[in-house]
Amino acid sequence: MRILLQPLSVSELTKQITLALTGPEFQSVAVAGEISNFLHHRSGHMYFSLRDAQSRIKAVMFRGRNQRLGFVPKNGDTLVAMGSIGVYEPNGEYQLYVDLLLPLGMGDFHLAFEQLKDKLDKEGLFDAARKRSLPVLPRRVGVITSPSGAAIRDILHVLTRRYPGVQVLVFPALVQGEGAPASLIQALAAAQETNVDVIIIGRGGGSFEDLVAFNDEGLARAIAGSTIPVVSACGHETDFTIADFVADLRAPTPSAAAEIVVPLQEELIANVASLQSRMVSFVQRKIQADRRYVRNLSQRPVLLRPEHHLNQQRQRLDELVTGLGRYERHGVFVKREKLAGLVGKLETLSPLATLGRGYSICQNERGQILRQSHQVVPGDVVNVTLQEGSLSCIVEGRRT
């Protein structure tokens, strides 16, 4: 019996390896190691290796992933990389596709924070397109915070200073401790049932650990699900919480949130007054202009002295009639002259006139006018016409 080995093509083999390596066990791995051969390519992607004493694995972190990195990795850094294993088929190399890169020794809080942030980001909860715009002038502002902290005092102070007629509905909530996330979520839910049209949620400053309630996944989802725009105000200029990322707007402090949420009343009043006066002055100008125009029209002579206009027309008519008569007379004269000329010409051409001057016309018996002597022979009878009467003559002889 013969074993026939059907050879695979390189790419077929590579595909099978890829399949074997991209199983579920390698789709979500966290690996600690030291960075080497780090290259931040012009394209924005990062290429490097992770290694320990015995082994090395190639890794790539694409631009879209490394943009949110809070630090620039460098050779020698010991890090935790999270991501999945894949095969780069052109080279037949397996490598780690890195989603998240964290410094080793980061506390559990930070680790959990980065992982949750990455997860919600992938879900699109931070997308700019999801952010709602805030009302220009909220009718009622909802505030979710501790009723006893500095944050509520700051918020109320700024709100009433900027907008003395502000309507505020406070939803007391725990902002730290074990029950804080549930309390915040409950307050957010209660706010949905009221007519507030913007919500401030936050607390005064604190350490990263103090803000842990605002890094809660449930709260993040509640904020994302709010039908009312939410402004987060967690009291940290530099550190962002998950609530900050998912809120429609992040204010660096509770006071800043209040500044953002209500306008300065006097500014709005001035704005409305300015619009009103622009409108009034426009209408006044318009009426003035129209009035000028009407006055202008009414002062045209045709309206001012209609009889004058009429007289002018009448005069013009007279002129025309006169002109017509002149033309007619002139026309007859010309015709008469022309006729006289024609008659005179006719007279000079008439044979009668020639006869008047003493010439006579000699015709043979057939009536033909004789111009040469050889037209007749002696004995012929010719007729000679004179101015008055005619003669009948017999030719006796002829001369040439």
Partner 1 sequence: MSELKFEEALARLEEIVRNLEQGEAALDEALVLFEEGVKLARFCNQQLDQAQAKIEIMMNDGKIETFEVSET
* Contact set with partner 1 (CB under 8 A): 135-137, 139, 147, 156-157, 159-160, 163-172, 187, 190, 194, 265, 268-269, 271-272, 275-276, 278-280, 282-283, 286-287, 290
CA-CA distance, 377 to 373, in Å (whole number)? 8
CB of 279 to partner 1, least distance (A): 5
CB of 193 to partner 1, least distance (A): 9
CA-CA distance, 17 to 89, in Å (whole number)? 10
Q: Which of 116, 100, 110 is nearest to 221 (CA)?
A: 116
Residue number, 288 or 322, with CB nearest to partner 1: 288
Residue number, 170 or 355, with CB nearest to partner 1: 170
CB of 222 to partner 1, least distance (A): 16
CB of 267 to partner 1, least distance (A): 10
CA-CA distance, 297 to 108, in Å (whole number)? 87
CB of 190 to partner 1, least distance (A): 6
What are the tokens at 15?
Answer: 């595909």
Residue number, 37 or 288, with CB nearest to partner 1: 288
CA-CA distance, 11 to 395, in Å (whole number)? 144
- 390-398: list long-range contacts, CB under 8 Å, 24+ apart: 398/373, 398/374
Strands, sheet with 198-202, edge to edge from the N-terminal-most edge strand: 141-145, 198-202, 230-233, 249-251
What is the phi/psi pair of residue 230, to 5°? -120, 130
Look at residue 138 and give its three-state secondary structure: coil
Residue number, 16 or 276, with CB nearest to partner 1: 276
CA-CA distance, 389 to 266, in Å (whole number)? 131
CB of 184 to partner 1, least distance (A): 13
Residue number, 7 or 165, with CB nearest to partner 1: 165
What is the phi/psi pair of residue 7, to 5°? -70, 145
Residue number, 119 or 132, with CB nearest to partner 1: 132
CB of 114 to partner 1, least distance (A): 35
Which residues is 145 bridged to in the sheet?
A: 172
What are the tokens at 157?
Answer: 């102070």
Residue number, 186 or 364, with CB nearest to partner 1: 186
